[in-house]
Structure 1
């Protein structure tokens, strides 16, 4: 795992921008010191350190005096030993230059030794603007700006990071070629100077390191050790090589460019070679400018700062190096940039280049006037302002036209078409109609032939017809692996991803994705998101023009993709609603069927009254009650509760009810009925489900009632004005083997008397909860019945239900509730005369 993967994009951007601000401040310090505060004072000659062994104290030798210059005019000669300036002594050329820099555009007194003679000369020195330093500084700053845009758009890209580091150190490293400035700052400021010198040195290994990851990764044995050695050798080499550090820097530059050319030759695809050719052309042009400076310096046999500024101006060709990188990055989106630099940024970069050229002209004019007029003047500044005032608007229009033509040519051709299509998206009836028109629209407007959609969830896949395969992609081989791989690309953020060559060679992308992107020439991925959740990926192929997608392209396609995702979501919700309506219709039918299995009205005779109530927690439930005729003199009351709720419980309820009805035809006692049902139920319902049940068999001839309960709530029995719970033993059906169930099942018998009361109920009544999750309880059930004991069964039922509803106001019913109440008024042996068929009516 790389270090950058541990931080968010926002954090990385903050770190990178902060480091660049610090670096810019340091270079601004260098620039201001060299160009303004400690502007070089010139005397038209060169000073070198004496190499004579006799000069142990150090001597500064005057050499290469410019013919007709101020030193020549004052009478100085090559070989003179400079002893002091205005009575200030020194031992090195750097110390001498620092002394001279304190004066400007004035007459200073030189004390020199010529042979054995001590002479004094009045020299009319003048301030000099170092054009070479300014040109090299501007080259570095251009790299600096481009590096900031690259790292800001792709803070986690490996090649972007290396370009950023190289660009950050570029102003320091490139200006290191100007003789002695950094070493002079080091002597004056020590630790700050050491940091500046370190930044300058680090540019060269960073330059080589960048071309080890761009345009393609260079893989060698012991790669990490080799890269570490690049930086270590650079630091040691600067100390050891001393006066040969320029050769050392050139070796690093040559090695980095060799890696670039070698990698370029291995790339065969024309589209990948095109932006690299631009960079190579820029490097060649820039090197011509730098080589020109070297040739002119050698032919004149004097340092560059002693040359006529007009001779140095062709060095501006070296600007082609950063310009070529910037052009390739903006136009072809190399270096892992996930989003393109906006039009205003492209315009700003080119404008900066023009302003830099104006600055060079202004400084050059200033130097020329200082050299020939030997006094300070504001005329160069005035001339520069006039040139800028009258020509800037013209160049601004030209630049704007150039940017539009080169970078945004296609944008206006299809923007309106796609926006119009986007407006129509919400009105498509289904996703298949939308997909057909989308493929046509994208192809006709942008010209993209390869457009694919990968859906990450089955509920969205089910919306697409099989005949959409040309547009809708699926993976027949291990789709779960593919789905996980493509979703991993958007784990950190859901921004679009441009598939660049460096992205494919990063080593972190899954091989299946890499092969697919290469085979289908996919260059852009945009996630389809609903509520920040990725439901699919839209994959776009190359544009016919071969140009990369611009910011406007991507923003427009992001809007399009977002609306496509909304169409999928709307269709999914529509299908879900249709399924819900169908389900509710089926549930309603099931509810009606379930209700038909229960007695449709109360049994109410002269001396026996029965009232009942059942309310499922869901549309259908697992509770049920029944009244079954056993023989001429007996009928049974059954209340049962199947574990669980909803449709599964309702299905089991129907099975158990059928089994009880069948067993009631074979057996006369509640205990025998339950034993028979438990014997047969094990093969009929799931082993994890069970049923609690209470059966009471009323014998109208003997006026008795027998009760047996299989794990059900105790029956409330009222006689002679008192109430009690009938807590006979019993286990739930399907919870134990036949032997254990029968051994633990108890049957009790009561003699029926006038005013006897029996209340059968399920646990949904006693365990009904209020909003505080408190249960109604069996005690409250008993208290309500006690307070309504003298009322009819119907009134008792009504008051009991009202009490529960009042207790649970505002709370959701969490379990089915079933109640059956039986009350005896007087003995009535004519009850069975009203019986007809299997059920009492």
Structure 2
């Protein structure tokens, strides 16, 4: 994908801009809590007359025991100056006081009964809880709106719901940053153009709020009419134009009068209209749909909206009439946090009742988000409560330190709490919307990174319980000649050891396979068990038993109960589970080896076993066909290697030949190749070409392969009925082919798997199609063959390989491999191999 196209991707743009605005909003919240706190002397100032009829700033409502009272200030004193600066109004006085830090002394010049006095008042700081509550409310709305929008970026209601939070958060940043800066630094001149974006944002945030409630109800319900949206935005545009003109005139006049009403008052009225419109819309919609299924969520949505709206109106009404209470106890403003319940209730309604067009996939995400923002609200409240408690206990001088310490402690607690709540939700709401194939392929990738027998067993049980959604599960692993229960859930009659031993079950199972039956055991094939095992399987109702095999030996049995949805296991389910079982078997065996290693078992023994496991994953025998002869080997440079080849038989006439090389060696490379083998065996079907298979493999493995890993690969599709061969090369060595007396290297274009997410890989992948001809022969090889070096540092090279291929072309495929191996050994002599050597010969018989 081009860089320029990334920013036009809808979901990328949503993630990018939401992250930016969320960070700005959090910074604004931090500004309100720790920087923009207001100075408080615990008394009130009034512009008016005192008891003697003198005009000025009158001090009243002095809080007993407060800062002003301790400094000796009395009710009815006149405030003349602060720190030597004359004050003409309460605004100027507050501006001077706000420049002082917590605990500093402010020198008040006061007039008491005609006498001037000077007193020192110790300044306190209080948070602007009104701004803080509104900030949290909009941040919560933005977080919930993001979850709603990301599920359906094209839904108009989803977009509007998101924009309410997005524009709201942007609108609050002006007060936290520029307005506060200008307030404390009046000589700073803000460019005129800076105010215009906030004017537009303020206007349109109210318009979007109204638009959302117009569209929240279906057409014909609630207050929705065809032209109301246009009228709504026409009013918003007119308000924006008025506010821009008025601001321009006020700036020209040096802060004087504009056209009349101040823009901030206009915005306040506009937003109150919007909030009232939302309330009326909910009430009308609830009444009209009272008896419908949507009536239940609408009733409690309306109730929560009324609760938050009442808190906002209550504060607006009572605060001016109870200045002393609210000024000296600003935490009463925290009642406005009930506003945050509004977006949370919408989110729950979306999850529980699907009131909006939100896909089922995002349900759990919304629930996680709801829990997150609820804990986030509690987080900010807890910071204040703990800070106040400890600050009061240890004194004012420790208050800043306490605030910082509280922030750190609760940040750690916040993350841990979220993780625990999300785990609880996951156990209750199972993500059954994905197919078993997607789940198990993703789990196979995850399994390679899980270390330890106990962790693997827990992971396997959790996967089948929470994702595959089976009612019961039992996993038995080999221990000597018996099976021992390793993990289970939901089993009624728990058996630690089955009656069937490995030596008894394995011959029966192999005979069972030789008869052409499936590799899995079902209720129809319980004859492989002896004793009471068959009756136990029947009574527990295990419809599917998967043998775990390593090195062609049974190492365990996996019993699966019915699925929770009651549906039978389809062939696609069985294929996916079988492929995952192969990876589980290898992972369990690797874990077993790891445990042996921790018990100081010889490292050489462990690696030899691992090599046998890897060799067991390679073809032990090759398909027998009267027209085709196939033979190959892989010789690792160390005990285990990163090369891989396979022959996948799709039908009697159709085969896929694959050879690959991971960019590395040893155990990590072998694990990656194990994953690739499992994926290819699922992807290779008779309706897919090599190019289609490689493209799908690259898409599935790209994100989990790792930054420094890639896989070169050649995949050949061979069809004797159609008499054709298709060759596709993903960055691997060329294919050496001999036909009609001519030998050439075929090198179709292609990038290695895992280097690109998909676009470039698909673009450069080339597929060649050739006709099968009698006498044709091919050699697929790894770079460990041609790049082998002798003691003189000479490469074996393409020409030597071509010469050996031509010299022994008349031999059978096994003989050709043996001759090539002999030539390589003679060339290398006593020099140690540094790369895996893999070769696969294919001959079309005459």
Instruction: Bin the TM-score by the shorter chain.
Output: 0.3 to 0.5
Q: TM-score, structure 1 length as denominator?
A: 0.42
Q: TM-score, structure 2 length as denominator?
A: 0.42
Compare relative contact order (CA 8 Å, sep 6+) and give the higher one, 1 or 2. 1
Larger radius of gyration: 1
